[in-house]
Amino acid sequence: MEVRPYRSGDDDTLYEICLKTGPGGGAAFTDPRILGEIYVGPYLAFEPDLAFVVEDDDGVAGYVLGARDTRGFEKLCEARWWPRLRERYPVGSFPDDTIDARFARLIHRPPVARDDVVAEYPAHLHIDLLPRTQGRGFGRILMRRLLAALHDVGATGVHLGVGATNTNAIGFYRHLGFTVLHENPSGLTMARPTFLP
């Protein structure tokens, strides 16, 4: 088992992990790429040095991805990531009530982080591990790698979004020193400084 920096050949596996660790294990999606196009692709394209993976004999099984400056990242995605996807997934690509349609809508209206959040915690992250690597300390190792890398590039605070029902992840983040900044029925925004004692 090894934690290492992301390499360009990892992309497809990271997209698959994103799907499998996503809503309902990805089973309800008709398009297996759409989640990765939102939550993985732009990080690999624009912040490859802030991507780390965990790998075992069966291959890559988890990742953490970061963006050092959320506002700058949103602008970069608006200029260089979303336009291509908006062409690939025009409005109405999927029947309205499907999970694919829910995420396709995000491509056309991506969420924007709150001003008060990015003022103190300018970076953000995503972390996902397949079940075979969960609960064995690799989430913590990946998180520490990213926090150190973010700190090295000058990002002093990092935030993340987590679903309100994802009690496992919320417990993990709390245990690692994240606190809740905002809460609504669908999810929480949590954050912490990147400094590691």
Ligand X SMILES: CC(C)(COP(=O)(O)OP(=O)(O)OC[C@H]1O[C@@H](n2cnc3c(N)ncnc32)[C@H](O)[C@@H]1OP(=O)(O)O)[C@@H](O)C(=O)NCCC(=O)NCCS
Q: Which residues bind ligand X (CB under 6 A)?
A: 21, 127-129, 134-140, 162, 166, 168-169, 171-172, 175
> Residues, the chain, total?
197
Q: Which CB atom, from 16 or from 128, has the smaller least distance to ligand X? A: 128
Q: Which CB atom, from 48 or from 135, has the smaller least distance to ligand X? A: 135
Q: What are phi and psi of 184, to 5 degrees?
A: -140, 175
Q: Sheet holding 179-184: strands in order across? A: 2-5, 51-56, 59-67, 123-129, 157-163, 187-193, 179-184
What is the smallest separation between the CB atom of 162 and ligand X, expressed in angstroms?
4
Measured between its terminal Cα atoms, the distance across the chain in Å is 25
Please compute Rg for the chain using Cα positions.
Answer: 16
Q: Which CB atom, from 154 or from 163, has the smaller least distance to ligand X? A: 163
Residue type at 41? G
What is the smallest separation between the CB atom of 93 and ligand X, expressed in angstroms?
25
Q: Which CB atom, from 85 or from 142, has the smaller least distance to ligand X? A: 142
User: How far is residue 190's CA from residue 76's CA, in Å, rounded to a whole number?
Assistant: 23
Q: Which CB atom, from 30 or from 168, has the smaller least distance to ligand X? A: 168
What is the smallest separation between the CB atom of 165 and ligand X, expressed in angstroms?
10
What is the smallest separation between the CB atom of 146 and ligand X, expressed in angstroms?
11
What is the smallest separation between the CB atom of 177 and ligand X, expressed in angstroms?
10
Report residue 178 CA to chain centroid gap: 16
3-state secondary structure of 185: coil
